[in-house]
Amino acid sequence: MAKPTLDGLPIELRVSILREVSDFTSLRALLLASREYYRAYDNIRPRILFELLFRQYNGQVDFVESLTTIRSKGLWAEDAKNTEDIIALLDFRRRASKEGNLPKYDHDSLTIKELVQLLKLHETASFLLEDYSKSLEQPDWWQSGTHGVWKPVRFSSNERTRFFRAFYRLQTWCHIFGHMEYYPIRPTRETDQFINDWYGKTFSAADAWRLLWGTMPPWEVEEVGCIWLYCDNKYLKIFEEIRDTLLERFVPRYPGAPPTVENHLDGDLVPEGTPMSSIDELESERAHIPRIQPIQNTNFLSFAGMDGCSRRDEMIAIGLCFFAKVLRSNNEEREKAILNNLRRPFWTSVDRELWQIGRLGNNERLPLLSPADRYEREDLADVISSWPLLEQPNQAWIKYWCAGTPLHPDIWLIYPLGHGVPTCALDTGEWDWGYVLWDTERILQWNPPVLEQDFDPWQTFTRRDT
């Protein structure tokens, strides 16, 4: 008697197995391996994908945020034809985020394409969460004798929710107000068609702020800031690796000295005989891309330094999906992706847009808009403790900004940087360890300096010189 196989199971059992698969990668593998399972899947694809999506979310993802993210793709703010659609989409997000306003969704509410996009996007979000937990470096204030050995952080359910909502919000921002990824397979086009130059044309800085960031309480904006700084730190290391690779490849060694900017370049001078002038041409030829205002070589080789800050912002503004692709790539693919997307037209654009938004006055950023306007109340300190934990700031944020006074809307009037947007210009040292992402229980266990009574938040604001 032949042994039963998975393919030989009744269709009802095959469907049950398909509905219990834990992740999209496993589902794909099963469908590719078995024609019988694909046939069972094909009959009820929307239901299987919808149920898989919400198993993946595990109650930790706001469906409105993720749906907004996939529907924002391609709605570049520079195109005036997209203006009404952008406003309508972000207004849908704002209204649906209010309690009780979420439309009822089931497996027939979304297309197969949307369901697959949502699953792939969450795979990226989960990958970056795991990388963040492993990459988070020991804070300066951490003392092994007191705190023990620093270990990768294992996120709680609420901490995962905070990370995911920051991920989806930042990706939505990048889809609309960020920069386009440059693909070598595109035909040659004019340079200015590869940037999303919307500022002052279709939206003002205040418009952009209020459409997205203005609908969030200040600590949730800082959650995005923590993700932004994580990306910045990772890009800094990647830039340094590429710099060293190019120096190794194109700059002749001085006897006994490793290839560095300092021992090969003196200001703008390139050692005689060095083929530095051809770096841009070689990279363009290898990647089969049109020449786009070539990067100056000496600047390029120092882009991990002071002038590298805005260039790293260029990369982040392309989005977290591009960032994850860079992290997953091998060295050659990573180098090509970075070189393809470092373009001079971004420099003035990204600096102007992000600086302007970060420097908006309170009259342009406040009051908070719905649904965040619920925090604009005099008795906030009395009522907020009865709200769900994910709608409250953690103890680190309260200690940082309130300095011993009760939580009150005046806090973001007095300290506008508490409601800042991630920029190249300023950050706080607390973003380095993700201070707004963690549960209060973890904060109390870690006991960072921010909890001390004499803590001065203004001492932690620093100019970023790298």
* Per-domain residue ranges of the chain: 11-43, 58-376
For residue 270, what are its two tokens? 């390139």
Point out the least confidently predicted range of 247-251, 358-362, 393-397, 431-435: 358-362
pLDDT over threshold 60, residue 262: no
Are 208 and 77 in contact, with CB atoms under 8 Å apart? yes
Spatial CA neighbour of 222 closest among 9, 18, 422, 461? 422
Lowest mean pLDDT among 12-26, 221-235, 422-436: 422-436
Note the pLDDT of residue 295.
Answer: 38
| Placement of tokens 């970023």 in the chain | 464
* Higher pLDDT pick, 20 / 442: 442
CA 345 to CA 348: how far, in whole Å? 7
Spell out a b/e string for 136-164, using b for 16 or more CB atoms within 10 Å of the CB, else e. Answer: beebeeeeeeeeeeeeebebeebbbbbbb
pTM passes above 0.85: no
pLDDT of residue 43: 79
Give the tens place of pLDDT for each residue, 321-335: 999 999 999 988 998
Distances (CA, A) of 419 to 217, 376, 386: 8, 14, 23
Condensed to tens digits (0 to 9), the pLDDT of residues 397-420 reads: 998 888 778 888 887 776 654 444
Q: What is the pLDDT of residue 114?
A: 95
Torsion on CA atoms 60, 105, 388, 125, rounded to nearest 10: 20
| Cα gap 346→310, rounded to integer Å | 9
Q: What number is the average pLDDT over the span 335-351?
A: 62
Place of tokens 């988070």: 136
Residue 240, pLDDT above cutoff 90: no
Q: Which residues contact residue 301 at a Cβ distance below 8 angstroms, ignoring those fewer than 6 apart?
A: 243, 246, 247, 261, 265
Q: What is the mean pLDDT of residues 120-140?
A: 95
Question: Mind listing the pLDDT tens digit for each residue in 273-326?
Answer: 433 333 443 344 334 333 333 334 444 444 444 345 667 888 898 999 999 999
Look at residue 79 and tell me whether its pLDDT is greater than 90. Answer: yes
Q: Are 449 and 141 in contact (CB under 8 A)?
A: yes
